[in-house]
Structures are given as structure tokens and as C-alpha cells.
Amino acid sequence: MRKTPDLIVIGGSWGGIKASLEILQGLPEDYKIPIVLVLHRLRDQEGNLKQLFDKRLNLKVEEVEDKEAVCSGYVYIAPANYHVLLENDKSFSLDVSDLVNYSRPSIDVTFISAADTYGEGVIGILLSGASKDGSMGLKRIADAGGIALVQDPAEAEVAVMPLAAIEAVPTCSVQGLNSLKDYLLSLT
Amino acid sequence: MKHSMDVQFEQEVEQLIKDIRQHYGYDFNGYARASVYRRVKRFLANNHLQTIPELREQVFSDSFFFEGFLQEITVNVTEMFRDPAFFLSLRQNVLPMLSTYPFIKIWDAGCSTGEELFSLAILLKEEGLLDRTKIYATDINQKVLKQAKEGIFSASNIASYTSGYYASGGKQEFASYYVSNYGSLKFDSSLIKNVVFYPHNLATDSTFNEFHLILCRNVLIYFNRELQERVFTLFDDSLVDLGYLALGKKETLAMSGIFSRYAFVDKENRIHRKTG
Ligand SMILES: C[S@@+](CC[C@H](N)C(=O)[O-])C[C@H]1O[C@@H](n2cnc3c(N)ncnc32)[C@H](O)[C@@H]1O
């Protein structure tokens, strides 16, 4: 039997909030795998994201704090204006260095760091979005032996992000939101 | 499990950190590794280097090259009025209390190229405190200190600086503080006439004065918990009773041994006061 993954990282931009809510909504509060969510957002969405997810999920929702431990039962949201990195001792570090793909937080930054730190234990999921951010990171996750999942571009609100991901990681598994949700549920 | 190539890379970085301390005296041992790894990889790519041994060859034979490496590792990205709500809170909750002192001393630790310093000076000026305030602006990096003294910032961010200024309670015409010239903004140098600039390394140097307010924002995120604790103790030793400590928006004092002696002035904006 395959061992349970250590970390799920999810990225999205335009349409990504709705899509990630949909796949996370059914997960139980004692879900065994910590989840990190990197969503591009407009400045005026700051702060509201935590509340938005808090209301709809069974899991606990936190904005990432610097040097906080990565724990199961949580969905961690990348804060506005910071990149999120993962340390070897399974804690978060934040970073204010330059934008990557015009974004901070950048999905690539977190995905690459997750792959470097957790290796094959990572599941990366890219959802709807109007940016190509995340596809390099997803490739790194796949190269490190992790699992690369992409929302079906046909049903994504904006297909740019999934299409870029499929091009960068031809071996990724393309799925609809319902099937992504079932997959996550089946893991623990 | 981690990839063996990554493991080797990380071991080579550890050795590099040790040897840099030996050779140049800069101690990066307490730096949080995730960012260090990322910056080292970026520096390799930017300099068309493939491996750490290639990097070492240049780092240890060319001190000018090392300077560039230092720039890369110590992330210097900054902006004016970063988190306007923080500056508004400083203006409303801290400066009125500071105004009761005949003479005010402030430490801006990790001031980078000065955007935060000038933002602070503008607040002090508008609250009538600038003339009796001395600010110590420090950073590990001498190059950014030189830039901070110039007070010349890129005009490309002017829209966000201007809205940040007003959101922080700005009372004047923001444009009255600078002259714009070929894509850059030169800020009024009288704003920093009471500022002294010092190289100071939070990882290795000691306390050098007593302050009523210490700002250290978005510096501690680059340190591990141990080094953070060292710095918190250093700040604790450098603050007068009832002095203020302001951290970055996502930096926390809560895990520190000194936390119990501090009260939140503004939890959301990470402004603390030393209470005993
Ligand atoms: C991201 S900038 C933060 C600038 C500003 N405080 C802000 O929040 O916009 C971090 C700064 O910390 C400085 N720094 C890094 N390590 C340091 C150390 N050991 N001692 C003092 N400053 C350090 C860097 O040189 C850089 O200028």
C-alpha cells in the first residue's frame, strides 16, 4: 500500500477560489494531510479569504504565520504580499522578495519549495486561473516523484493556468472538480 | 523523501555558510534555510554557474563577487508605507505617547534602502516630532545603507506609495516631499537630518543604545527560531520600559521568551509595548 502523502498544495487565480472551495468543502475536520492554498488575489480581497473559507470548510483555516508548524487538520492560506516557503523541520517561512510571474504570493515559489522539502510526499493541484504561475512548480513536484493534478480546462472558469500546467507536465492527471474532491477524500 | 541531489545541495550550502563565516566573518548560520536555498539557486542561475564548487571558487577569491552574493542572500525588497494600516496605527497609537518624551530615540533595524525610514520620518514630521527625534537606521548591508542616505526611489511605484501615504493618515500633498526626475523620486533630505546610519548585524552585534521605539519589519522572517530569539532579547535589552516594538505583519513575538512582558498595542499590526 502506498504511504499517505505528507502535504497537499493547491494553486489558482481567476476562478480558483470557487474551485478550491468546491474540492475542499467535503473534507472532514480530522483530515490527515495538511493543505496549503496559494491563490492570487486582488488587493481588496485581502483578509476576507480566511473568513470565506472558514465559513464553508470543516477544516480549520489559518493565514500562514512565519515559522508556524505545518499541522494536519488545517488549510493554510498564503497571506497577501508574501511568498510561502516550507522548511525542512516542517514549518513555514515567509518571504517578501520580488514578485514571481507578477505575483506575490507565487504558486511556483511554494510548489518548488514543497517539492524540495517533501520530495515525493507532495500532491500539487492547479486549478482555474488566468496566469501561467504554478506550472513550473507542478513540474518540479512531478519530477520529485510527487503527484501532479490539474483541473480539467474544459470546466475551468479560466483555462490558462490548467492549459499551461498540462503543457509543462504532460504526465499530469487531468480531472474535474468532483473527481478531485473524491480523490482527496479517498486518501485518508 | 527528499531527492539525493537536493540533499547534496543542502550539504554544500551548509559548508559554504561555515566557510563564509571563517573567511568573511558574516554568520548566516541562523538564517531560515528555505529562502537561503532559493536565493543560492537564483544566484547560480543569474551568474551562469552550475554548481556550488564553481560558486565557491569565485566567492572566496573575489570579495567584490561576494558582495553581490551577500546582496542576493539578504533580501532587500522594500516599499514605502508597506501595510498602510500599520503606519496609521503608529501615527494614532504610538506617536502620541512618544510625544510625551522631551527627546525620542528610534531604531529602524533592517532598514534596507530607506523606504520605510522615509515613511516613518514623514509621519514624525507631520506629528511635530521630527526635530526632537533621533533615528538610528541600521542594516547588515552597507550598500543599501548608502542608498538609504540618498533617498532616491524609483517612480514606478508612485501610485501605490501615494495611496499608501494617504491611507496611513497623510496630512499633506504627498508630492510636496519629493522632486521627481527622470523616473526617480528624490525625497527631501531634511527628513533624515537627524538620522544616523550604521552597519549593524542582528545575528552577531550587540545592543548599542536605548530606544523608545524599535521597528524591525520583514527581517525576522529570514531567521530561524533560535536567531529570532537572540534578536528579541537584543531588542528587549535595547528598549526603555514602556518602549514599543513593531514587527512585520506576519512576524510573531508569541513564541518568544520575552512575550509575557509585552502587551499588544495593536495585535493586527504587530505593535507591542514593553510592560515590565
Ligand atoms: C526585506 S528587507 C525589509 C525592509 C523593511 N524593513 C521593510 O519591511 O520593508 C530585509 C532587510 O534586512 C536586512 N538584514 C538581513 N539580515 C540582517 C542581519 N543579520 N542584520 C541586520 N539586517 C539584516 C537585509 O539587508 C534587508 O535590507
Model pLDDT, residue A117: 94
All three cell numbers of A59, joined, read: 477544516
Closest-CA residue of A relative to B228 is A67
Same domain as B180, residue B145: yes
What's the CA-to-centroid distance between B220 and ligand 1, angstroms?
A: 8
Cβ–Cβ under 8 Å, residues B256 and B232: yes
Whether A42 shows a pLDDT value over 80: the answer reads no
Q: In sequence order, what E strands does B228-268 have?
A: 239-247, 262-266
The whole-angstrom separation of Cα B56 and Cα B19 is: 9
Cross-chain Cβ contact A94/B228 below 8 Å: no
C-alpha–C-alpha distance, residues A143 and A111, integer Å: 12
Burial of residue A28 (number of CB atoms within 10 Å: 0-12, 13-18, 19+): exposed
pLDDT score, position A43: 54
- Whose cell is 528610534? That residue is B106
Quick one: closest CA in A to B220, which residue? A66
Report ipTM for this prediction.
Answer: 0.94
- Give the residue-averaged pLDDT of A50-74: 96
A3 pLDDT more than 90: no
Give the pLDDT confidence of A137-164 residue by residue, as tens digits.
999 999 999 999 999 999 999 999 999 9
Task: With residue B136 as reference, give the H or E element that holds it.
Answer: strand B133-139
Q: How far apart are CA A86 and CA A111, in angstroms?
A: 9
Segment B227-271, tens digit of pLDDT: 999 999 999 999 999 999 999 999 999 999 999 999 999 999 999
Q: For residues B32 and B142, state if they share a domain.
A: no
Please state the domain extents for chain A. 7-186
Domain range for B96: 84-274
- Considering chain B, what is the average pLDDT of its residues? 96
| DSSP string over A13-53 | STTHHHHHHHHHTT--TT-SS-EEEEE---GGGTTHHHHHH
Predicted confidence (pLDDT) per residue in B118-131, tens digit: 999 999 999 999 99
Q: How confident is the model at residue B42 (pLDDT cuts 50, 70, 90)?
A: very high
Contact A8, A70 (CB under 8 A): no
In whole angstroms, give the CA distance from residue A73 to residue A56. Answer: 15
- Compute the residue count for chain A: 188
pLDDT at B3: 75
Mean pLDDT confidence for B135-155: 97
Q: Is A13 a catalytic residue?
A: yes
- If pLDDT is split at 50, 70 and 90, which confidence band does A1 have? very low
- The domain total for chain B is 2
- Residue A83 appears among annotated catalytic residues: no
Q: Compute φ and ψ for B197, nearest 5 degrees.
A: -105, 130
**The three cell numbers locating residue B265:** 498595542
* B38 is a domain residue: yes
Give the Cα separation of A180 and A168 in Å (integer): 20
| CATH number, residue B45 | 1.10.155
Domain ends where: B25, B55, B74?
B74
Task: Classify domain A7-186 by CATH number.
Answer: 3.40.50.180
pLDDT for residue B182 = 87
Pocket test for ligand 1, best of B39, B112, B135, B215 (most atoms within 8 A of CB): B112
B251 contacts in chain A (CB < 8 Å): 66
Tens-digit pLDDT profile for residues B187-235 = 999 999 999 999 999 999 999 999 999 999 999 999 999 999 999 999 9
